[in-house]
């Protein structure tokens, strides 16, 4: 049995973004229970030179929507990156999942050798479809989802491995 490019991408993103959304729900509940200003968590970092929680979520969603769009030959949805509270972060996740759900297997499968160009503020990166997903997108996506989890866990939100991996 082989796995398709679609199976290795879109459902993975949707599942993990759902888990991330549930983690944010726990963060809101924690802030309420502790009478903590939720912005403390939204702006929390693991280290001074790391991005805050809000940016971790922005990058994770950018990775997912960018990958799906590029593999499917669609325009990458543009978001303003101005989320400042949990409701806005949840809206961003939901918007990303809604976009991912519009991308079909027919659009993604067969794009393993597709030339992919990613423009960053400092450079232009060139990939081929399958290595783009496996070597660039998935490691970055998981890094930022994991870092979001770690920021919240570090700040006392009662999270465990099942929250990260989700229910089976």
Summarize pLDDT for 142-155 with one digit per residue, the tens. 999 999 999 999 99
Longest dimension (CA), the chain: 52
Summarize pLDDT for 5-45 with one digit per residue, the tens. 999 999 999 999 999 999 999 999 999 999 999 999 999 99
> Is 4 a member of any domain?
no
The DSSP line for 76-104 is PPP------SHHHHHHHHHHHHHHHTT--
> Is 28 a member of any domain?
yes
> Is 134 a member of any domain?
yes
> Is 27 a member of any domain?
yes
Summarize pLDDT for 44-78 with one digit per residue, the tens. 999 999 999 999 999 999 999 999 999 999 999 99
Domains of the chain: total: 1
> Is 154 a member of any domain?
yes
Both structure tokens of 167: 């229910």
> According to the model, what pLDDT value does residue 120 have?
87
- The CATH number for 22's domain is 1.20.120.450
> Is 135 a member of any domain?
yes
> Is 165 a member of any domain?
no
Summarize pLDDT for 90-114 with one digit per residue, the tens. 999 999 999 999 999 999 999 999 9
> Is 2 a member of any domain?
no
Domain holding 72, by residue range, is: 10-160
């Amino acid at each position: 049995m082989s796995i398709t490019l679609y199976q290795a991408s879109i459902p993975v993103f949707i599942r993990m973004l759902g888990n991330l959304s549930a983690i944010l729900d726990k963060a809101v509940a924690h802030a309420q229970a502790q009478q903590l200003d939720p912005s403390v968590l939204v702006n929390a970092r693991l280290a001074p030179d790391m991005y805050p929680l809000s940016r971790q979520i922005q990058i994770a969603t950018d990775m997912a929507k960018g990958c799906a769009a590029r593999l499917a030959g669609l325009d990458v949805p543009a978001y303003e990156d101005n989320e400042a509270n949990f409701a806005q972060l949840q809206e961003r996740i939901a918007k990303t999942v809604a976009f991912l759900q519009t991308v079909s297997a027919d659009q993604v499968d067969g794009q393993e050798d597709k030339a992919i160009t990613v423009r960053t503020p400092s450079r232009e990166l060139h990939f081929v479809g399958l290595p783009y997903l496996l070597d660039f997108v998935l490691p970055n996506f998981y890094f930022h989802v994991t870092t979001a989890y770690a920021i919240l866990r570090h700040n006392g939100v009662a999270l465990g491995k099942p929250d990260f991996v989700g229910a089976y």
